[in-house]
Amino acid sequence: MTNLIEAQDISGEHYNFAYLDEQTKRMIRRAILKGIAIPGYQVPFAAREMPMPYGWGTGGVQVTAAVIGKDDCLKMIDQGSDDTTNAVALRNFFVETTGVGTTTKTKDASIIQTRHRIPEETLTKDQVLVYQVPIPEPLRFLEPRETETRKMHALEEYGLMHVKLYEDIAKFGHIATAYAYPVMVQGRYVMDPSPTPKFDNPKMDQMEALQLFGAGREKRIYAIPPHTNVVSLDFEDHPFEVTKFEQPCAICGAENVYLDEVILDNDGNRMFVCSDSDFCEDRRAAGHVGLLGTNPLDADKTTEEAE
Amino acid sequence: MSTQATASIFARAPAPGFSDPVHNAQSVFRAAMNAMAQPGTIQQLSDLALTPPAPLSVSATALVLTLCDYDTPLWLDADLAANDVVKNYIRFHTAAPFVESPAEASFALVANTKRLPAIASFAAGTSEYPDRSTTIILMVEDLKTGQGVTLQGPGIKTEKQFSVSPTPPVFWQQMQDNSRLFPLGVDVIFASDHQLAGIPRSSQISGLEA
Ligand SMILES: [Zn+2]
């Protein structure tokens, strides 16, 4: 990915600030304003080709590029981590095309672009959370035709969505959807919260930060303003339940956070650790310790470095 | 070419736009974005070395330069539409096509609130495309005096008091009617000298009787 960017010679010297031309930014900015005015409604926009494949989050990148200014501080996360290939490549893209400062600290960021996770730390009104969205249409798997889903949204015809969720209950005894769990925004639009785990859904409700969603391939932008009601769809007899983890984070001891399973060795030993790596590091820096005491992966790293 | 001829050409050339187009537009957009995301809050614009022709204000002009282009039909109030210097300035810097009918406008620029037509005459979008609506940029004197209203809805934690001056007598009644159209409706950005505030269609407006 980094090589791809270098191969195409992207640098602040040769490209406009944040890569996009001003006409494209204006078009995206207008779509963002409409999205904010109509929370949860998918605004069509003329997405541009970006110097990265669609799966890399081109929608989120275009939204960030239209919003970001030279005084911003950007945090880029993928699966809760700042260090994955995707996060590193996209962060480098913005460093090269804007020269803005970056951070891994949630509280220091003015813009956070994410794939999959919402940071554990509560976001504030001065922050913007930008989601990379692969499939923006929550009704797509029920109805493949765009003309039809558009009508369903217009008429608030969300009965099929409830039927699908109820089929889950009949089949599994609970709603099996664990990611991209549909939400109702301000009592009007059913919205797909991108591939975030449903664990994060409650964080979207009444969040103080502005949430912007960009889908590059499907050319949609949508938004949740601060302090907006976001309710996960459920039934009276089967209320929405947040994923619960049986143990705390193995290395920082945090409870009620989203954990990733990490395989430790070929014998099948594993541990559960915070998916939000910044949150976990902060806790460990503050002296919190989990059952494993230290991070076994750090030990591996030290050994490797020693060799 | 005589000195006199040169002078007359320069006299007709539009005043300059943003001194730093990329970063000025970005900062104005951020103010507009925050204005829409936090209805009724006052957003301060950074210093812009803009010298638009009268009666355009710096903030309203900054919004037009930031958001309008050949893709956005622009409606001007009757005073502005009769002002060739203003029209040349906007045409030169944005290439936005002027439209006569408010219902065809992506944006409406209103310098004199007395010249504001009925809000319902602007585009409210369609049930399938509520985004195909007009954003009204309303030049005002200030964002602290005048009739106060209470705003509630997305972007507002509990409620927000908002005052703006001047507004025509029927304005708030029409704005209430507008928000009842949600998710259809127009969005309004108020522009005083160097400040912005927004009321999107999603805001519920009360307290008119006060
Ligand atoms: Zn942890």
Give how far Cα A255 sits from Cα of A53, A250, A252, Å. Answer: 36, 10, 9
The percentage of chain A sitting over the pLDDT mark of 70, rounded to a whole number, equals: 92
- Cβ-proximal residues to A157 (8 Å cutoff; 6+ apart), any chain: A151
**Residue B33 CB-half CA count within 13 A:** 29
| Token digits of residue B116 | 């504001």
Chain A residues with CB under 8 Å of B71 CB are 27
How many Cβ atoms from other residues are within 10 Å of residue B2's Cβ?
Answer: 7
Give B10-47 pLDDT, tens digit per residue.
556 889 999 999 999 999 999 999 999 999 999 999 88
Chain B residues with CB under 8 Å of A34 CB are 131, 133, 187
Cis, bond preceding B166 (omega within 30 deg of 0): yes
The residue of A29, A127, A220 whose CB has the most chain B CBs within 10 angstroms, and thus the best one to mutate to test that interface, is A29
- Locate the chain B residue with the closest alpha carbon to A126: B34
Burial class for A22, CB neighbours closer than 10 Å (0-12, 13-18, 19+): middle
CA of A252 to the centre of ligand 1 (A): 4
CB contact under 8 A, A70 and B23: yes
CA of B193 to the centre of ligand 1 (A): 49
For residue A215, what are the β-bridge partners?
Answer: A220
Residue A164 contacts B where some CB pair is shorter than 8 Å: no
- Selecting among A57, A59, A214, A280, the annotated active-site residue is A280
- Cβ-proximal residues to A305 (8 Å cutoff; 6+ apart), any chain: none
Long-range Cβ pairs for the range B160-165 (8 Å, 24+):
B160/B39, B160/B40, B160/B41, B161/B40, B162/B39, B162/B40, B162/B197, B162/B199, B164/B140, B164/B190, B164/B197, B165/B140, B165/B141
CA of A304 to the centre of ligand 1 (A): 23
Give B66-108 pLDDT, tens digit per residue.
999 999 999 999 999 999 999 999 999 999 999 999 999 999 9
Residue B72 contacts A where some CB pair is shorter than 8 Å: yes
Chain A residues with CB under 8 Å of B27 CB are 69
CB contact under 8 A, A186 and B38: no
Closest CA to A202 of A162, A242, A237: A242
Closest CA to A213 of A228, A239, A192, A244: A192
Closest CA to A139 of A220, A212, A61, A223: A220
Contact call for residues B49 and B86 (beta carbons, < 8 A): no
The residue of A22, A23, A30 whose CB has the most chain B CBs within 10 angstroms, and thus the best one to mutate to test that interface, is A30
Using DSSP's 3-state secondary structure scheme, residue B148 falls into strand
The side-by-side arrangement of strands in the sheet containing B74-76 is B43-44, B195-199, B187-191, B135-139, B107-110, B74-76
Q: Where are the alpha helices (H) located in chain A, listed in sequence order?
A: 2-7, 22-37, 58-67, 85-98, 146-154, 159-172, 201-204, 277-285, 296-306
Chain B residues with CB under 8 Å of A210 CB are 33-34, 37
Query: Does the reported pTM lie above 0.80?
Result: yes
- ipTM score here? 0.95
Catalytic-residue membership of A73: no
Contact call for residues A243 and A196 (beta carbons, < 8 A): no
**What pLDDT is stored for residue A216 in this prediction?**
93
| pLDDT grade for B156, boundaries at 50, 70 and 90 | very high
- Locate the chain B residue with the closest alpha carbon to A211: B37
**What pLDDT is stored for residue B154 in this prediction?**
98
- Mind listing the pLDDT tens digit of every residue in chain A (307 residues)? 333 444 344 444 557 999 999 999 999 999 999 999 999 999 999 988 888 887 789 999 999 999 999 999 999 999 888 989 999 999 999 999 999 999 999 999 999 999 989 999 999 999 999 999 999 999 998 899 999 999 999 999 999 888 888 888 888 887 878 888 999 999 999 999 988 999 999 999 999 999 999 999 999 999 999 999 999 998 888 889 888 898 999 999 999 999 999 988 888 888 999 999 999 999 999 999 998 877 776 655 544 444 3
Residue A67 contacts B where some CB pair is shorter than 8 Å: yes
- Selecting among A57, A80, A214, A274, the annotated active-site residue is A274
In Å, how far is A150's CA from the nearest CA of chain B? 6
Partner residue facing A37 (CB), from B21, B128, B202: B202
Give A146-167 pLDDT, tens digit per residue.
999 999 999 999 998 888 888 8
| Token digits of residue A155 | 């008429």
